[in-house]
Amino acid sequence: MYFITGGAFNGKKRWVLTNYSYVVKDDCKWYHCYTEKNKHIMNLPYSKESTLVIEGIENSLEEYLKHGHCTAKDFYDRYLLRLITWEQQDEKRKLIIIGTDMTKGVVPMDKGARHFRDELGRLYQKLVQLSDDTIIVWFGLGQSLS
């Protein structure tokens, strides 16, 4: 699994398309969590493609928390673990998760927004621990953390 993060509108998608072009090709399913229909990855079908990209994982977590679920750990256990397992079942499969970093800066006053921000940080910690490589993209430039 590869985890790509960075600020909003900093070129994460373009970076993936450029630097992982060898896996992001015809045999790839790109799942956008930014659309109303796709916000929640619980609707994500298994696919025959060898590469799966989930863009905007923060929106899916936020939607999950809004429906009364409490933690990023629950979200990970319920949805992301099965995708990681899917990837591990075949060495040709690749899972790329793209998430906007919202954990830096001013802490929100609103309790719900603060809870989301904290849980997002916990989810990203888990993704960094499990990823083969984590890339931070700022202004179109990627830096590997591994």
pLDDT for residue 22: 82
Tell me the per-residue pLDDT of 61-119, one tens digit each, with 9 for 90 and over.
998 888 877 899 999 998 899 889 889 989 989 999 999 998 787 788 888 889 999 99
- Measured CA to CA, the distance from residue 104 to residue 124 in angstroms comes to 13
* pLDDT score of 47 more than 70: no
Tokens of 114: 């603060």
Instruction: Give pLDDT, residue 40.
Output: 63
Predicted TM-score (pTM) of this structure = 0.90
Query: Does the pLDDT at position 43 exceed 60?
Result: no
Where does the pLDDT of residue 26 fall: very low under 50, low under 70, confident under 90, or very high at 90 and above?
confident
Residue 112 CB partners (closer than 8 Å, separation 6+): none
Which CATH superfamily, name and number, covers 2-144? P-loop containing nucleotide triphosphate hydrolases (3.40.50.300)
pLDDT given for residue 98 in this prediction: 97
Judge whether residue 60 has pLDDT over 70: yes
Strands 2-6 and 94-100: parallel
Give yes or no for a contact between 36 and 62, defined as CB atoms under 8 angstroms apart.
no
Higher-confidence position of 26 and 101: 101
